[in-house]
A = this chain, B = another copy of it.
Amino acid sequence: MDHVPDQTINRLPIYLRCLSQARAVGIAVVNSLQLAQMAGTNAAQVRKDLSYLGELGTRGVGYDVEGLIAHVSDVLGLTEKRRVAIVGYGRLGGALHGYRGLADRGFDIVAVFDDDPEKVGRPAGGLTVAPVSALERDLRDLDVEIAILTTPTSAAQEVAERIAAAGVHAIMNFTNVRLELPEGVKVRPVDLSVELQVLSFYLARSS
């Protein structure tokens, strides 16, 4: 499994969502073309991506939806809950905390941090906003595995270093800072404007 290309890994959550949607409408078997159409790719790509996970489909029939959901979930490590912290509890941090899509998929927000004295100690969706000064201690005590970084730009690099030093090896980076962190820390940059830029391309072409 170590040789699965990053591009394939990036598509697995998308296949998983499509499969869940198919299951929700009562579809028990899908073929690669159907899955490709749902996922916005092509059938050859689907077959190639899924081939990395083993011999999964039946030629001429397709993939068992339930079985494939279980398998992809397992590969993605989604069969266990992941403990997540949000660092930077402004509007975006708050919105992510309230975003049902995370809890639904097994991501438990177990801590939220901010360094604004006005916010620290306040209730926040079943939690209490913790001070950034307690970051290292709390991340360790709570066994946090993934940090969502939503601090202001100016604090991002320093806070990310502290998160990494506290043993958290996965960071979802919503700031526009290119983080420099020790090897072994996986960072996923999220730029909400990317999708708008893709839409802009189609608008520019069609006008």
Contact = CB atoms under 8 A, between A and B. Distances in A.
Interface of A: 1-2, 6-7, 9-10, 12-14, 16-17, 21, 38, 40-41, 75-78, 82, 84, 90-92, 94-96, 98-99, 101-102, 104-105, 107, 145-146, 169-172, 176, 178, 184, 186, 188, 190-206
A186 B199 contact: yes
A21 to B, nearest CB: 6
Number of copies: 2
Contacts of A13: 191, 193-194, 197-198
A165 B78 CA distance: 39
A196 B172 contact: yes
Contact of A102 (B94, B193, B203, B206): B193
A172 to B, nearest CB: 5
